[in-house]
């Protein structure tokens, strides 16, 4: 597993290396969740292309199907989620910090 590879690309690479179509992959995952349905091809696209992180039990099932170490596989998903969260926080708080600094400078200029 490449440490810089995001979860979606990892899933897509492993699926292709195994020669599975999206439909093959879905069938291998099998029924999942409380409603006992197969995942949809559009959901797999969300994971592989749009970097959606699946629910933990789906991640574990994927790792099992690919024969990957469960903890390492889940770690890739977890790290991606942490990076996305950090970027959102940074983006949000950088805007707030700029606004705070402008307000503070105006107050200090008025003294």
Could you read off the pLDDT of 90-103 as tens digits, one per residue?
A: 777 776 666 666 77
* Distance (Å, whole) CA 92 – CA 90: 5
- Listed range (23-27, 48-52, 83-87, 90-94) with the worst mean pLDDT: 90-94
CA 52 → CA 34, 47, 88, distances in Å? Answer: 20, 4, 15
* Distance (Å, whole) CA 94 – CA 109: 22
- CA 91-97-103 angle, 5° bins: 145
DSSP secondary structure code for residue 21 in this structure? -
| pTM for the predicted model, two decimal places | 0.73
**Predicted confidence (pLDDT) per residue in 34-80, tens digit:** 778 899 999 999 999 999 999 999 999 999 999 999 999 999 999 98
DSSP secondary structure code for residue 69 in this structure? -
Domains of the chain: 7-81 (1.10.260.40)
């Amino acid at each position: 597993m490449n440490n810089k590879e995001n979860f979606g690309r990892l899933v897509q690479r492993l699926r292709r290396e195994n020669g599975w179509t999206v439909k093959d992959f879905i069938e291998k995952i099998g029924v999942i969740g409380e409603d006992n349905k197969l995942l949809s091809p559009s959901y797999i696209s969300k994971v592989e292309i749009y970097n959606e992180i699946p629910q933990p039990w789906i991640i574990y099932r994927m790792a099992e199907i690919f024969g990957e170490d469960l903890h390492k596989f889940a770690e890739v998903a977890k790290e991606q989620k942490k990076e996305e969260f950090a970027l959102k926080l940074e983006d949000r708080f950088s805007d707030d910090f700029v606004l705070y600094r402008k307000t503070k400078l105006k107050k200090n200029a008025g003294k």
